Structure 1
Amino acid sequence: MDHVAQFNREVRAFEAVARRATSSGGAPLVPSCPGWSVADLVIHLGAVHRHVHAVVRDRLPGLPDPGDLAVLGLPADIGDWPHPDRAPNTGPVPPAVLDWFAEGASLLGARFAADAVTQVFEVMAPARRSWTQAPPGTGERYLFRQTDGPGTWAVCFDGDDVRLTGGSAGAVELAGTASDLLLHLWRRLPADRLDVRGDRALLDRYFTLVPPV
């Protein structure tokens, strides 16, 4: 299963349902969460996403301090937001609450995907080469650039080695969201869905050097 894609599908579906449920001016109760309304569930899940994002981003050994409100990325004015201590909150839900939820989910999805791109080059590409007896590299250099975050991966194939070089150039460059880059590296998204610059013949050689399994 592509966990990042599944996460993105689930949060988009949840957001759509939450927006519909609160569009009439109130927040209905959630039968499967006794004592909670849709607003309370949105706040809870949004906070979970922000905390997990901080754990992954900062390589924390556990969850951040619950008192560290900066982790939540809240706007300056939350006076009319549902308050967790007053659940169930069944009153009107400001649109900014759902926008905040969507932003936090997007940040987390992009961070899971970016980490997974690194894992492809550090773990899976060498493994796939070993499993399939792929040909040795001859100095092929690729640059993968994330468009929805700061990620950049310069990859060089040298003999049996796959190296992240830390550079900023390659004979071919692929740019896209972290999720799209990851899908391409697993051969689930064609290169023409990305911004490709440079030697396309070298691009075609990538899956000879890292064969699908």
Structure 2
Amino acid sequence: MSARLTRERMLDAIEAQVGLVRFALAGGGDSAAVDPTAPVPSCPEWTVHDLVTHLGAVNRWGGVTVRDGNPHERSRGLGDAMKSAPPASAGAAALADWYASQASGMLETFTETDVDAPTWTFGGPGPATFWLRRQLHETALHRWDLENALGGPSATTPLPEDVAVDTIDEFCAVMYPHKGSRGPLPVTIRLRAVLHAPEGLATGAEPVGATAPGALEWDLPGAEGAGEVEVSGSPESLALLLWGRVGADDAGLEISGDRAGLEAALEAGLSV
């Protein structure tokens, strides 16, 4: 399913997220050097070096997949991209330079490619816009991981509301169904995004996977006969909840219904 954010909006947002990753690796304006071996609490067993190496390689792979334009075969090179990263001992500056080179190639490809150009996607042949959307949310999520690792939750940069709404939408309409080998959820989860901006979303930014046209509500169905839980809150809080970055006790969320079922679903890992 395609995104409703325009190509220009997605490109601008990806570029902004890439810039924030580079800024964080430079110390975020602080004179203290970033330690590439620092742990990343939201990605257990990863260091900053592991996180950025993963993100840079995935950014590059997304660009290569679009550039190859083969709708029937997954592009190769993800492993080689990861191996090309400098070692952690080379320092954060070297890692930042390497990441910039991976991301710039992706952005160049996305800028030059028609969003309707055929390519391989997780669901088979699809348009190149799938990869703009996927790399936007991949980069935004791991940018949050990096900022949180280096400075804690208060140091993370808020996601624009239209981007966060599309993060929820992509999760519910694309990424969660893609992980279809898991058993049913112990509870039906009904999500409702509450916008801060009184004017709402810009025209053309409405989600495509919501429960109804123009709605900011999504359902993740549970097993037959399961209870229901409603979770409402800011788009960013909902997005971070779905991707396991915050829990049900996050201050930006309101929960009613089967909270125990929600906790069980979160503990099992919605995004795993």
Structure with more relative contact order (C-alpha pairs < 8 Å, separation 6 or more): 2
TM over 0.5: no
Normalising by structure 1, report the TM-score.
0.42
Which of 1 and 2 has greater Rg?
1
